[in-house]
Amino acid sequence: DQQVKQNSPSLSVQEGRISILNCDYTNSMFDYFLWYKKYPAEGPTFLISISSIKDKNEDGRFTVFLNKSAKHLSLHIVPSQPGDSAVYFCAAIIGGSNYKLTFGKGTLLTVNP
């Protein structure tokens, strides 16, 4: 049972435009969400996170939005750059058992020059 879902396996955007990566979750106990970026032959790298008490968190070109009622979060990258091309994983944590990250399957983002 996939508790964190990334329904788009891939996304292609032009350099300079906005990239929007989506993530849905089913477990209402999740209260902290993270986005990781992964290049080939490297481990995932933490990008940005958001607590369930917030609906937006911004860090430079990256913004994460959380809609708790819809159990949906999205990552916006503006402007997109070719170096952003990677697999992006959405992950979630239940506060009481915060040793375990539950990941989605990932979305491959390709930013074309």
Residues within the interface to another protein (CB under 8 A): 4, 6, 32, 34, 36, 41-46, 49, 89, 91, 93, 97-106
40 vs 113 by CB, closer to another protein: 40
15 vs 38 by CB, closer to another protein: 38
CB of 17 to another protein, least distance (A): 26
What is the distance between the alpha carbons of residues 41 and 4, in angstroms, rounded to a whole number? 24
32 vs 65 by CB, closer to another protein: 32
Strands annotated E in 1-113: 4-5, 10-14, 19-25, 30-38, 45-51, 56-59, 62-67, 72-77, 86-94, 102-103, 107-112
What is the distance between the alpha carbons of residues 52 and 95, in angstroms, rounded to a whole number? 10
CB of 15 to another protein, least distance (A): 27
